[in-house]
Amino acid sequence: MEDSNLIDRVKEKFGPLVLDSHNFRGDQTVTVKKEAGLEFFRFLKDDPAMAFNFLMDLTAVDYLGKKDDRFEVVYHFYSLDHNHRFRVKIPVNESDCIVESLTPLWRTANWYEREVWDLYGIKFRGHPNLRRILLYEEFKGHPLRKDYPVNKRQPLIGPLN
């Protein structure tokens, strides 16, 4: 399949769920509603023309005050079979700060999702072990949120026995 047809294929299958898309110099991106859920991602993985068998990265962006939905969860996929890449963005509102976990489809999502939870506070429904991965359990808040106080004091923890 021609790389330029990836967005078209997604729009064919999930048209009403696609909020935006662009293809700039081979950088193909779709923004979808979070209601797309696992069915959307299963299509990206299982459809022979897509075959995104490698989740390269999963991260988040905080647009505090710049967009209606404060956060965006961003997924980067690669197809080893077709040698093409694809980016998916999901807007997430602060009041409903949860998306579906991709761990049932890509095991690598496990640590990526834990990192996003730890640093941004976005939850992943269905994650098998959603707990902090970089910071200690007693840490208060999520330090990559733009409204996180820079000088905030954290509880001290003693030596672990």
The CATH code of the domain that includes 92 is: 3.30.460.80
Question: Rounded to two decimals, what is the model's pTM?
Answer: 0.91
Cα 53 from chain centre: 16
Gyration radius (Cα) of the chain, Å: 17
Query: What pLDDT digit, counting tens, does each position of 76-134 carry?
Result: 999 999 999 999 999 999 999 999 999 999 999 999 999 999 999 999 999 999 999 99
Single-letter amino acid code for the residue at 91: P
Is residue 143 included in any domain, yes or no? no
Domain carrying residue 107: 3-125
For residue 66, is it within any domain? yes
- 134 close to 143: Cβ distance less than 8 angstroms: no
How do residues 39-87 score in pLDDT, each as one tens digit?
A: 999 999 999 999 999 999 999 999 998 989 999 999 999 999 999 999 9
Residue 136 lies in a domain: no
What's the confidence (pLDDT) of residue 26? Answer: 79
**Structural domains counted in the chain:** 1
Rounded CA-CA distance 41/98 in Å is: 16
Distance between CA atoms of 94 and 123, rounded to whole angstroms?
11
Using a 10 angstrom Cβ sphere, with 0-12 exposed, 13-18 middle and 19 or more buried, the burial of residue 30 is: buried
